[in-house]
Amino acid sequence: MALILVLIAIGSVAFHLLSPWWWTPIASNWSYIDTTLIITFWITGAVFIIIVLFMAYCLWRFRHRPGRRAAYEPESPRLEAWLTAVTALGIAAMLAPGLVVWSQFVRTPPDAAEIEILAQQWRWSFRLPGTDGRLGAADIRHVGDDNPLGLDPQDSAGQDDVVIDGGDLHLALGQPVKLLMRSYDVVHNFYVPEFRAKMDIIPGMVTHLWFTPSRTGSFDAICNEVCGSSHYAMRGRVVVEDEPTFRAWLDRQKTFSQRAARSTSTHEAGLHRPAIDAR
Amino acid sequence: MSDAITGPQGGSPLLPEADDLYHPHSWWTRYVFSQDAKVIAIQYAGTALAIGFVALILSWFIRLQLGFPGLATFIGPAEYYQLITMHGMIMVVYMLTAVFLGGFGNYLIPLMLGARDMVFPYLNMLSYWIYLLAVLVLVASFFAPGGPTGAGWTLYPPQSILAGTPGQEWGIVLMLVSLILFIAGFTMGGVNYVVTVLQARAPGMTLMRMPLTVWGIFTATVLALLAFPALLVGAVMMLLDRLLGTSFFMPAIIEAGQRLRYGGGSPILFQHLFWFFGHPEVYIVALPAFGIVSDLISTHARKNIFGYRMMVWAILAIGVLSFVVWAHHMYVSGMNPYFGFFFATTTLIIAIPTAIKVYNWVLTLWRGDIHLTVPMLFAIAFIVTFLNGGLTGLFLGNVVVDVPLSDTMFVVAHFHMVMGVAPILVIFGGLYHWYPKVTGCMLDARLGQIHFWITFLGAYAIFFPMHYLGLLGVPRRYYETAGLGFVPPSAETLNAFISLVAFVVGAAQIVFLFNLLRSLRHGAPAGGNPWRATTLEWQTPETPPPHGNWGPALPVVYRWPYDYSVPGAPEDFVPQNQPAPVRAGAVP
């Protein structure tokens, strides 16, 4: 048993060092999160190794032999106080940087560009502000076949909003973004492993998340909160590119009013309200 | 705890005497509708292990899909989500909670405290039968139209009651009804355990002389009595949302292009209710395991548990703190992010009393006389896996580190290690330890060793590498990850490896079952106290103990439960009911 425990300690460290499975190369400003995680790895790893090896030593050194008798040692307040203090110190060493980074995580910088994400079973839609730099109002009451995001047709701020329904989301390199996330059905979660950040999306409220893309590339965006039987297939794509390429892409997208005009001409009916389910 | 004890301190009015007990008149009232806590314990444990075996088989199918996607054509996405939901719920509630409190609690509380039975035997019997009904309702959902619910064991609305989730018709309703029944049944048992511990201890058995097993089960029961009502409320409200169209948890919703008649409810409210129950639930499972493992280590290392008083206070501190950490399951839920500061702090603080317990177990080994019996092997393995799982909890509890890891396989690996593998190792250790008292026969040690090594090393090989998949970003609750660019092909290889090990570990449990059944007939006679232990359950006049436990006179307790290897004592253990003044050094 003692030998096996030593092997477990060595094996765990070896696996950690040799593992080909490690986090994806980061593509956002949240390298602080990685740093905090590494600190935690060092502290917890050291504790694990020390305790397992100490146990292995005890099991070998104090194994039963004929005539052996255990010591009688009910407690040792000094040792216990000392261990408590060291533990508290280790905990503080992990918690303090964690809370510092969290305070950055919860405070969105004022220059962050607002982008809306609408999650539905089982796909992603996006909305970027148009030339006015503002997102127009939206509500579940306005949702229709031609208005999947439920933009308020009366709100002038929304007319120039770029609506991406079923396409990829493009982001500009180095531009902080604040994602405003909504859902019209169930709880979802927007997660791009390379950005490290994620947040649930709750129907009936708007949740948000901010980060700054730090590397160009094309990344998988996945739903990370179980949302029904096709949860695993709810995937999207985020493309990070330099500012000029991003601008050029944005200019090619249709605005809300362009989409509405096109659909009015094809359907004539325009916007309609969804029927109320009978049940 | 001085050894000069005063002797009996007068019976408590609630301390049942042998004549007060309802004695069975027939085979039915002796073995089926029994009011004897020991029979009820066996019923609880047997039912829980049986449904746990079902959950084990479900996990095989889960691993079949994850390790070898597409191989099992009968597992589609809907079936996969039903599998993980039922596996999770069965293991957490119907298996772990029921075994520790209903099984070990019923058997050990009266015996370890020197009581004749629980104080409310009839309620105790009712508790088991309602639990059995809850299990049957749950099992019925497998056969209901549409099958069991596939909402994930957390049952988050709105999806849990909408048509996009499998089992929307019957499965979720049966699940909620079953949970409500379980909670009702548990409350009957729980009230019993608490009152028995507080009122029916043998003369001389002060609270600070109770074995840590009883402390753990007692505290866990108090937690459960306070935490389960939150789940009950959540389940009732969701049932109303589903059946009567109320909107407790349902905001305005469009489903498949149709606007539903819900509006104004809060999905996140359910998450608070669920985790207000769900986090204490972790400790409802863990605290009895802590207690049992303390007693196993002490007995088989022939040494008193190190720092008994600290161990008791740590159990109580964990119990209290467990009620102010729940939202660490909700860091990325969309709740006010400033909660993160508070909950990260409380969560990391709870690590301190937990760490103290680990230190004290390890220090109990120091200068012990360690017998590597099968129960001891399981206890040591518990420390390793619990330590591992506890340390990864520090990643997830530290709010910002949780952000990338939340809802990935890291979380799956973490909670399986800490509240799956670790407590189950204790259950096995406890069964190997107390089986001789329950049956009078020893379990076969060689089969036990085989069972132990495959289970321990296999479980570690399953869940340790799984953390690294989560670090990579592999999400949990994914039917398949094919097509995800950040998941390399080597991850598939690792998944296949994990699945193969899981099949072997699962199969090894058959060795255990075989051992349990075979030893009933062919096990070596155990005698009354095969481990030479100090606690009262080993001092019964007969083994297995009959109804009433103690014969004509209740035992009288003269000392704490850890008088092992007392200097000057003739034997290396002094039973709690032995009056002779044994010099006991600086006994607390």
ipTM of the complex: 0.91
Q: Which residues contact B459 (CB under 8 A, 6 or more apart)?
A: B385, B421, B425, B505
Q: In whole angstroms, what is the distance from residue B369 CA to residue B302 CA? A: 6
A58 and A148 part of one domain: no
Q: In whole angstroms, what is the distance from residue B572 CA to residue A69 CA? A: 7
Q: Which of B337, B400, B486 sits opposite A98 (nearest CB)?
A: B400
- What average pLDDT does the segment A160-181 reach? 93
A82 and A139 part of one domain: no
For chain A, give the mean pLDDT: 89
According to DSSP H, which parts of A156-224 are helical? Answer: none
Are the Cβ atoms of A70 and B562 closer than 8 angstroms?
A: no
Token readout for B407 is 């809802």
Q: Which residues of A touch B481 (CB under 8 A)?
A: 232
Task: Say whether B158 sits in a helix, a strand or coil.
Answer: coil
A193 and A228 part of one domain: yes
Higher pLDDT among residues B12 and A215, named by residue? A215
Task: Let me know if residue A277 belongs to a domain.
Answer: no
Are the Cβ atoms of B475 and A98 closer than 8 angstroms?
A: no
Q: Give the pLDDT of residue B20.
A: 65
Task: Let me know if residue A30 belongs to a domain.
Answer: yes
Digit-by-digit pLDDT tens for chain B (588 residues) are 333 333 444 444 455 565 566 677 787 888 888 999 999 999 999 999 999 999 999 999 999 999 999 898 999 999 999 999 999 999 999 999 999 999 999 999 999 999 999 999 999 999 999 999 999 999 999 999 999 999 999 999 999 999 999 999 999 999 999 999 999 999 999 999 999 999 999 999 999 999 999 999 999 999 999 999 999 999 999 999 999 999 999 999 999 888 999 999 999 999 999 999 999 999 999 999 999 999 999 999 999 999 999 999 999 999 999 999 999 999 999 899 999 999 999 999 999 999 999 999 999 999 999 999 999 999 999 999 999 999 999 999 999 999 999 999 999 999 999 999 999 999 999 999 999 999 999 999 999 999 999 999 999 999 999 999 999 999 999 999 988 999 999 999 999 999 999 999 999 999 999 999 999 999 999 999 999 999 999 999 999 999 889 988 899 999 999 999 999 888 899 999 998 665 554 444
A90 and A156 part of one domain: no
**pLDDT > 70 in chain A, percent:** 94
- What average pLDDT does the segment A103-123 reach? 94
Domain count, chain A: 2
State yes or no: pLDDT of A277 exceeds 70.
Answer: no
End-to-end CA distance of chain A: 62
Are the Cβ atoms of B245 and A227 closer than 8 angstroms?
A: no
Burial class of B244 by CB neighbour count within 10 A (0 to 12, 13 to 18, 19+)? exposed
Q: In whole angstroms, what is the distance from residue A177 CA to residue A108 CA? A: 9
B377, B398, B409, best to mutate vs chain A, most A CBs in 10 Å: B398
pLDDT digits (tens, 9 = 90+) for A115-164: 999 999 999 999 999 888 899 999 999 998 888 899 999 998 889 999 99
Pairing of strands A217-223, A235-241: antiparallel
Task: Let me know if residue A69 belongs to a domain.
Answer: no
pLDDT digits (tens, 9 = 90+) for A3-47: 888 888 888 888 988 888 889 999 999 999 999 999 999 999 999
Are the Cβ atoms of A187 and B302 closer than 8 angstroms?
A: no
A236 and A130 part of one domain: yes
A100 and A119 part of one domain: no
Measured between alpha carbons, how far is residue B457 from residues B207, B383, B389, B454, B504 in Å?
38, 13, 15, 6, 11
Are the Cβ atoms of A200 and B358 closer than 8 angstroms?
A: no
Q: Which residues of A touch B349 (CB under 8 A)?
A: 91
Task: Let me know if residue A139 belongs to a domain.
Answer: yes
Q: Which residues contact B584 (CB under 8 A, 6 or more apart)?
A: A72, B1, B3, B559, B563, B566
Dihedrals φ, ψ of A179, to 5°?
A: -85, 125
Task: Let me know if residue A274 belongs to a domain.
Answer: no
CB A189 within 8 A of CB A201: yes
Q: Which residues of B touch A64 (CB under 8 A)?
A: 302, 369-372
- CA nearest to B384 within chain A: A52
A182 and A88 part of one domain: no
| CA-based nearest distance B314→chain A, Å | 11
CB B471 within 8 A of CB A22: yes
Measured between alpha carbons, how far is residue B55 from residues A110, B316, B424, B554 in Å?
50, 31, 13, 41
Token readout for B57 is 């088989």
Q: Which of A21, A64, A235 sits opposite B369 (nearest CB)?
A: A64
Are the Cβ atoms of B471 and A231 closer than 8 angstroms?
A: no
A81 and A210 part of one domain: no
Q: Residue A115 carries which DSSP code?
A: E
Query: A154 lies in which domain range?
Result: 113-267
A93 and A128 part of one domain: no
**CATH code: domain of residue A202:** 2.60.40.420
Q: Which of A23, A204, A275 sits opposite B267 (nearest CB)?
A: A204
A120 and A102 part of one domain: no
A197 and A214 part of one domain: yes
A161 and A263 part of one domain: yes
- CA nearest to A200 within chain B: B333
Are the Cβ atoms of A74 and B585 closer than 8 angstroms?
A: yes
Q: In whole angstroms, what is the distance from residue B311 CA to residue B357 CA? A: 6
Q: In whole angstroms, what is the distance from residue A23 CA to residue B418 CA? A: 23
Q: In whole angstroms, what is the distance from residue B481 CA to residue B476 CA? A: 10
Q: In whole angstroms, what is the distance from residue B539 CA to residue B578 CA? A: 10
Dihedrals φ, ψ of A135, to 5°?
A: -90, 135
Q: Which residues contact A13 (CB under 8 A, 6 or more apart)?
A: A45, A49
SS3 labels along chain A: CHHHHHHHHHHHHHHHHHCCCCCCCCCECCHHHHHHHHHHHHHHHHHHHHHHHHHHHHHHHCECCCCCCCCCCCCCHHHHHHHHHHHHHHHHHHHHHHHHHHHHHHCCCCCCEEEEEEEECCEEEEEECCCCCCCCCECHHHCECCECCCECCCCHHHCCCEEEECCCEEEECCCCEEEEEEECCCCEEEECHHHCCEEEECCCCCEEEEECECCCEEEEEEECCCCCCCHHHCEEEEEEECHHHHHHHHHHCCEHHHHHHHHHHHHCCCCCCCCECCC
Q: Which residues contact A239 (CB under 8 A, 6 or more apart)?
A: A168, A169, A170, A171, A217, A218, A219
Q: Give the pLDDT of residue B19.
A: 59
Q: Which of A70, A200, A222 sits opposite B484 (nearest CB)?
A: A222
Task: Let me know if residue A36 belongs to a domain.
Answer: yes
Are the Cβ atoms of B475 and A222 closer than 8 angstroms?
A: yes
| CA-based nearest distance A246→chain B, Å | 22
Q: How many CA atoms lie within 13 A of B551 on its CB side?
A: 8
| CA-based nearest distance B74→chain A, Å | 15
CB atoms within 10 A of CB B182: 26
A25 prior amide bond cis, ω within 30: no
Q: Which residues contact B68 (CB under 8 A, 6 or more apart)?
A: B496, B499
Q: Report the predicted TM-score, pTM, of the whole model to 2 decimal places.
A: 0.93
Q: Which of B266, B309, B387 sits opposite A51 (nearest CB)?
A: B387
* Backbone region of residue B21 per phi and psi (left: phi > 0; alpha: psi in -120 to 50; beta: other values): beta
Q: Which residue has the tokens 């619910």?
A: B149
| CA-based nearest distance B308→chain A, Å | 7
| CA-based nearest distance A12→chain B, Å | 8
| CA-based nearest distance A182→chain B, Å | 11
CB A231 within 8 A of CB A122: yes
Task: Let me know if residue A181 belongs to a domain.
Answer: yes
A72, A165, A178, best to mutate vs chain B, most B CBs in 10 Å: A72
Q: In whole angstroms, what is the distance from residue B101 CA to residue B112 CA? A: 14
Are the Cβ atoms of B78 and A277 closer than 8 angstroms?
A: no
Token readout for A231 is 């949860």
Task: Let me know if residue A176 belongs to a domain.
Answer: yes
CB atoms within 10 A of CB B93: 27
Q: Which residues of B touch A199 (CB under 8 A)?
A: 332, 334
Q: Which residues of A touch B269 (CB under 8 A)?
A: none
A99: enclosing H helix or E strand: helix A77-106
Q: Give the pLDDT of residue A264.
A: 61
Q: Which residues contact B402 (CB under 8 A, 6 or more apart)?
A: B328, B331, B332, B395, B396
